[in-house]
Amino acid sequence: MSVVRLAGPLGLVLAGCDPREPDADAEPPTEREQSPVDPAPSPRIDPEPFAVQLVALHDRGDTVEIELALGRRLPPTNASRPTLHVGDEVVRKSRHPDGQLDRLVFLVPRDQFDRMADGAALELRGVVLARDGVPVAGVLDKSALRAP
């Protein structure tokens, strides 16, 4: 038997099964069934504020480490790595010291650190944290730079 012969009756059956309801029989949804209007989306992914504090500046020779304490643990992900913005400078390289997910250490090349303005505001950005940047409590104080 050919495919065309089998498909013919099947097409008639499918054409007769229209799952859409005719307009004449349709009833408007009741008040309970209507979905409420969604409020404007929050600029934050997480509605709780995310606290970040500058803990220490460590001098490692060619590299300066900027250590931040986070208000809660960051989920481990490679999808979005946080970035630190210090004035006009952006630092992308970071690590969690000793696997602590509530701490971040940014590794800043010495020449980039020297370009950063003393007293500059710090901001942490990254999709995991929030849609907008998270301000870091404290400013860059180069006099706090300590040797290991």
**In the chain, what are the domain boundaries?**
52-146
The model scores a pTM over 0.85: no
HSE, side-chain direction, 13 A CA sphere, residue 51: 5
**CATH number for the domain formed by residue range(s) 52-146:** 2.40.30
Q: Which residue has the tokens 């960051």?
A: 74
Are 95 and 39 in contact by the 8 Å Cβ rule? The answer is no
Spans of the chain, pLDDT less than 70: 1-49, 76-80, 127-131
Please give the pLDDT value at position 44.
45
